[in-house]
Chains A and B, each alone.
Chain A
Amino acid sequence: MSWNRRHLLTLEELSLDELNQIHSTATAFKKILTRSVKKVPALRGKTIVNLFLEPSTRTRMAFDMAAKRLSADVISLDAKTSSTTKGESLRDTAQNIEALQADMIVVRHSAPGSPLYLSKILGIPVINAGDGAHEHPTQGLLDTFTMRERIGDLKGRRVVILGDILYSRVARSNIQALIKFGADVTLCGPSTLVPHRFESFGVKVSHNLREALHDAEVVMLLRIQHERQNAGMFPSIGEYTSMFGLNQERAAWLHPDAIIMHPGPINRGVEIDSELADGPRSVILDQVTNGIAVRMAVLYLCSGGQPEYVTSSAA
């Protein structure tokens, strides 16, 4: 088992073997998080730059924390503090970061494909922390990691992704990973946000919540943004909640052991009732914790580390 990629740009490009390598590495790193000294020297002397040109709280903090747990030095830039506000191009900003001798760049950007673009320009590894509506590979990795941790092998398991699929990078990355793990994926939500063309990914599309949730073992909710309502994607938040919001009554349609997931931030009372978000079936906070372990694995592997080393010794 060896890791040969320098960048992590999409889950679409990863093989099942590579997904497994990241997960097994993350499993080893997760153990570190429970120690009193939550740190290993794997990336000591390396500098990682988090270039977040779009707002983010948990992803940025998780990358920050993951890098520090690996003993890397971290510099974070956002849209306000980078020269992009002065009109500097992404190319120039990124090339300056490289010239400052950064060893790796983690990029969050509203433009799909921008991490791929940077990977062609830069000589250092590029990690995609979310590119527009395209992919959010580490989120897909931590979500599937959490699912496997909770329900085991995903082959043939019924997973529902519910909500704004059209604009969701989380959905796209999860779909790519889940398909490779052999899960039976159904996308559900209003037809404006879940168009049938998504069937080309190899998933089912349903606009009937009851049918979709029936006996599902995982339901992953996606955040509904008010701006979609203003864009005419659905009549009102109230109507969305009445048609597709997850409440206790609807959660009863799920498999008895089903888990409830959400990448955050949550709109309580919109896509999910508070009592479900905080209830025993919710793994939302597990996702956050796992986000550190998975990102440690990604930073470690893409900086040249090998899975064998960490699974046998680092943990």
Chain B
Amino acid sequence: MPSLWIKNARVIDPANKRDAVGELFVKNGLIVDSLSAAEKKKAKVIDADGLVACPGLVDIHVHFREPGQTHKENIATGSHCAAAGGFTTVVCMPNTSPPASNTGTIQFIKDAIKRDAVVKVLPTGCITVDMKGEKLASIGSLAKAGVVAITDDGDCVQSNELMRRACEYAKMFDLPLMDHCQDHSMTVGAVMNEGEVSARLGLRGWPNAAEDLIVARNIILATYTGAHIHLQHISSANSVELIRRAKSRGVSISAEATPHHIALTDDCIETYDPKFKMNPPLRTAADRDAIIEGLRDGSIDIVATDHAPHTDYEKDQEFDYAPNGILGLETSLAVTLDVLVRKHRFRLPKVIDLMTRKPAELMKLPAGTLSVGAAADICLFDPKEEWTYDAKAGFSKSSNSPWHGETLRGRVKTTIVDGKVIYDGKTVKKRG
């Protein structure tokens, strides 16, 4: 493998508080201080003039649908999407078919990752058996099999007692719990945010109180048990405030926001277009703004995509019946830059931090840094380039994206995993 010499990049590495135009050197798949003159001669040179070089992006919330729903996505195509989006490490959710609640399924997923993935894909396991919310999954065995967290994502453990025991049990293995916060009793048949728009459209509403209640529950359980609970895709202003207060008391919780929840609101649903249907639903401008403020002050720790592929024919039906979820990996950086940097004046290194060091730290992953000796997982992007996203020409098996056909700004040019260029701005190359 040739060494890499990346020149003239604006290197942003929040883990090392680095933000300056300079060089990056890669040797034997690792970040190194420098290359010798002889090594430089042989190195592959990448002139990154005008580009930002940052750690490969880290997404702790993706759905790759393997096993069981590989007509939507599989680990190969999902990891290709990740590469095209600048991601080098992703954590995939266990709501596969069957759900990843036993070590056999985890082994199946790990085999597929080893065989097919072009970026680093890490599995999670379920909290409860088959995500039924009735009985704890074999959490210890799952930990031993290599899951990085447990979650019933897509569902939410409704029993407070079971969630409490899951916290106590998982803490033994130092496994974080990730929770999709939704009180099911308040969201029966719900398909969008409950509010003025749902009242007008006649669609069944999902009140933000249903999220807030579980966020509050999880804060109480994290306090009581000492386990770490990561609150997934927060969508409500009240939840942000609950998290803010809990963090000020030192409770061991963390939270994520998705690009779509900081970019879009429930007004988008005016035409009943299922490409805007997701769970939790898009909420009001006040909720959106609160989440952005949460990202600014650290109440919300990270950005995660909730990349959720569905085929065209599944999404192309009545809004009530279309599945929840949208693609996220290929547009995440551009959308997040647009919302946070351009519209809300976040500093670029802060945004990179939300998408690299912090998510890696939350899941204790060896990623999100350009430190010397670290794996050379690097993303090069042009923060100014405008491009039109064509989801149908993207790397996913699906194309369910609200940004299909939209002009975005900020484009990934190169993705490097363990020192190898796996995405060159056009094509994805297999790791070998």
Contacts and interface: CB of A to CB of B under 8 A. Distances in A.
Contacts of A172: 200, 202
Given A112-B272, A113-B272, A90 B200 contact: no
Contacts of A112: 201-203, 272, 319-320
A110 B320 contact: yes
Interface in B18-71: none
Contacts of B202: 112, 131-135, 169, 172
Contacts of A201: 199-200
A117 B199 contact: no
Given A112-B203, A169-B202, A197 B319 contact: no
B265 to A, nearest CB: 15
A315 B272 CA distance: 39
A111 B196 contact: no
A146 interface: no
Interface string B310-339: 000100111111000000000000000000
- Tell me the interface secondary structure of chain B in the complex: loop
A150 interface: no
Nearest to A172: B202
B201 A200 contact: no
A38 interface: no
B318 A109 contact: yes
B248 interface: no
Contacts of A133: 202-204
Interface string B70-104: 00000000000000000000000000000000000
Q: Which of B201, B204, B317 has the most CB of A within 10 A?
A: B201
Contacts, number: 59
Nearest to A89: B317
Contacts of A135: 202
Contacts of A117: 272, 317-319
B199 A91 contact: no
Size range of the chain B interface in the assembly:
10 to 19
B332 to A, nearest CB: 28
Contact of B195 (A132, A134, A169, A197): A197
A198 interface: yes
Most chain A beta carbons < 10 A, residue from B188, B195, B272, B319:
B272
Contacts of A90: 317-318
A195 interface: yes
Interface in B269-322: 271-272, 313, 316-321
A132 B199 contact: no
Contacts of B201: 112-113, 134
A116 interface: yes
A132 B318 CA distance: 11
Contacts of B319: 111-113, 117
Interface string A186-210: 0000000001011011000000000
Nearest to A135: B202
A114 interface: yes
Interface in B158-217: 188, 195-196, 199-204
Contacts of A111: 318-321
6 contacts: A91-B316, A112-B201, A113-B272, A117-B319, A132-B203, A132-B320
Interface of A: 12, 89-91, 109-114, 116-117, 131-135, 166, 169, 172, 195, 197-198, 200-201, 231
